[in-house]
Amino acid sequence: MKVVVIGAGVVGSLIAREFCKYDVEVTLIEKNLDVGWGVTKANSAILHAGYDDPPGTTRARFCSKGNAMYDQLAKELDIEVKRIGSYVVAFDEQEFKVLEKLLNQGKTNNVPGLEIHDRNEVLKREPNLNPQVLAGLWAPTAGITEPWNVAVAAVENAISNGLKLILGEKVVGFEFHGTRIKKVITDKNSYDADLVVNAAGLFADEIAKLAGAEYVPLYPRRGEYILMDKKLGKIVNSVIFPTPSSISKGILILPTVDGGLLLGPTAEDLPEDMKQNLGTTSSGLRQIKDFVKKLVPNIDYSFVVKTFAGLRPESPQKDFFLGPSKVVANFINAMAMRSPGLTAAPAIAKYIVEDVTQGQLAFKLERKKDFNPYRKAIKKMVELPLEEWQRIVQENPAAGRLVCFCNEVTEAEIIEAIRRGARTLDGIKFRTRAMFGRCQGGFCSIRIMKILQRELGVDMSQIVLKSPGSWIVDGRVRE
């Protein structure tokens, strides 16, 4: 049996890995030059507890289940998951009623450990919060991770278990035999398929249209963010939410896995034809600052590292769109993966493979006896005991040469990222955190380009930031 998964974001990557547990041929197709570069690349990176999703929705069905699966996933894929908990904070009686509603929703959704804390308890845990806070809904199972790294880790593990990864190819059509897809056609090749899973993020509706399958229209909801330097220090210890609105969970403040601070996002609905619009706006960034001031009054914005925007796929029904097509016999949608898509992703992957593929579609799959669920992350030298780092340097001198000074990333880590598939500057960045620091690659990018040039045997003018045409240099200034 041949399975083709379209889209290598966190959802598609975990679905592909789940299929690799069975004796089938799995192909994962991604139009970008690396995995995790769509919706997965720019979001709040939160593992939501599951109290915010209305009971009875597909979101509610999978959020808390997916959240609970991340501890095992972290052990298997060697990814960072930090259970730092979250607060939804209220500043008046009307907002307090929202906390009570969320508490009851969470209990209905089987979210463990939810409690409403009074002002004293909230400020004891979060001393930098606005002292006017009235109360907070505490969710201990909430956490943070690096979404792009979840996708990278899942794909690396899947490749070691037989996955065929296709990068830089856009799906442009399908070849049918009756009501069944027989081939997936890209702009460069075609691939045989007995089953197709559509996990194409913001463009999943367009893929479904190409296949003649059911879909919901997707439009981009742009969220702008401000990233603060880790040198700012520990401003908050957990994820801090305002009371949510009907539009979004609101502008929040949270630590990042590597010790920074993230503020945002805004929530701006864009037309369907603006699925590539990742620009930030002065009004959006001002909105973040003004709103965060209500949560944490004293933040020094001289520590801003960068501003950026992410796009998430929103749809009229504000819910996931999952399941088999009724008109295309071997086509499955994993569409409209808005928040909490990252959290729900492991549970959705399991559902697609077990309940949909083997249950509803009656494909008979046999589990592999030799599936290896484990993958080791690139070793971060700066996090090792000094004695161990010294021992590694004696064996590999590249481990002693710092390339990125902001995040203390060594040449050995850059080389390892290239060995694992990085071919662009962003490929290095999202695997090692090089260029993620204060200087944003101002000092280390040229050194990384030289390593890429040497290791790949290419001219520097062929090295791109992230996509064809995003070159950095265009030849020599002088011979």
- Mean pLDDT, range 120-127, rounded to an integer: 98
End residue of a domain, out of 294, 312, 330: 312
Structure-token pair, residue 340: 């909490």
Does 471 map to a domain?
Answer: no
Whether the predicted pLDDT of 141 surpasses 90: yes
> Do 413 and 435 have their domain in common?
yes
Does 473 map to a domain?
Answer: no
Task: Give me the CATH number covering residue 173.
Answer: 3.50.50.60
Task: For 34, list phi and psi in degrees, rounded to 5.
Answer: -155, 170
Strand 268-269 and strand 261-264: the pairing is: unpaired
Return the pLDDT at 236: 98
> Do 159 and 205 have their domain in common?
yes
User: By mean pLDDT, which of 169-173, 247-251, 436-440, 461-465 is the weakest?
Assistant: 247-251
- Mean pLDDT, range 231-247, rounded to an integer: 90
- Mean pLDDT, range 342-363, rounded to an integer: 98
Mean pLDDT, all residues of the chain:
97
C-alpha distances (whole Å) from 400 to each of 29, 403, 415, 442 are: 37, 10, 13, 21
Structure-token pair, residue 209: 């249209």
Residue of 152, 168, 142 lying closest to 36 (CA atoms): 152
Which SS3 state, helix, strand or coil, does residue 443 take?
coil
Task: For 457, list phi and psi in degrees, rounded to 5.
Answer: 65, 40
Does 468 map to a domain?
Answer: no
> Do 231 and 277 have their domain in common?
yes
| Whole-number percent of the chain with pLDDT over 70 | 99
Does 469 map to a domain?
Answer: no
Does 477 map to a domain?
Answer: no
Task: Give me the CATH number covering residue 273.
Answer: 3.30.9.10
> Do 169 and 76 have their domain in common?
yes
| Residue linked to tokens 């590539």 | 276
| Residue linked to tokens 């902001």 | 406
- Mean pLDDT, range 392-414, rounded to an integer: 97
Residue of 149, 67, 55 lying closest to 107 (CA atoms): 55
- Mean pLDDT, range 330-343, rounded to an integer: 97
Please give the DSSP secondary-structure letter assigned to residue 187.
S
Q: What is the pTM of this model?
A: 0.97
> Do 203 and 302 have their domain in common?
no
Task: Give me the CATH number covering residue 396.
Answer: 1.10.10.1100
Residue of 233, 240, 227 lying closest to 125 (CA atoms): 240
> Do 162 and 305 have their domain in common?
no
Sequence-separated (6 or more) residues with CB below 8 Å from residue 232 = 260, 261, 299, 300, 303
> Do 190 and 94 have their domain in common?
no
Domain that holds residue 283: 83-141+220-312
Tens-digit pLDDT profile for residues 202-227: 999 999 999 999 999 999 999 999 99
Cα-based torsion angle of the residue sequence 410, 414, 419, 422 in order, rounded to the nearest 10 degrees: 160
End residue of a domain, out of 312, 335, 364: 312
Contact 237, 255 (CB under 8 A): yes
CB atoms closer than 10 angstroms to residue 51: 26
Distance CA 345, CA 337 (A): 9
> Do 16 and 62 have their domain in common?
yes
Residues with a catalytic annotation lie at 48
> Do 207 and 235 have their domain in common?
no
| Whole-number percent of the chain with pLDDT over 90 | 97
> Do 23 and 147 have their domain in common?
yes
Tens-digit pLDDT profile for residues 368-388: 999 999 999 999 999 999 999
Tens-digit pLDDT profile for residues 17-75: 999 999 999 999 999 999 999 999 999 999 999 999 999 999 999 999 999 999 999 99
Give the length of the chain.
479
Tens-digit pLDDT profile for residues 284-323: 999 999 999 999 999 999 999 999 999 999 999 999 999 9
Whether the predicted pLDDT of 354 surpasses 80: yes
Return the pLDDT at 475: 80
Return the pLDDT at 476: 80
Q: How many domains does the chain have?
A: 3
- Mean pLDDT, range 415-432, rounded to an integer: 98
> Do 280 and 413 have their domain in common?
no
Distance CA 418, CA 428 (A): 7
Residue of 324, 330, 360, 364 lying closest to 24 (CA atoms): 364
- Mean pLDDT, range 82-97, rounded to an integer: 97
Does 472 map to a domain?
Answer: no
Burial of 296 (0-12, 13-18, 19+ CB in 10 A): middle
> Do 254 and 388 have their domain in common?
no
Return the pLDDT at 247: 67
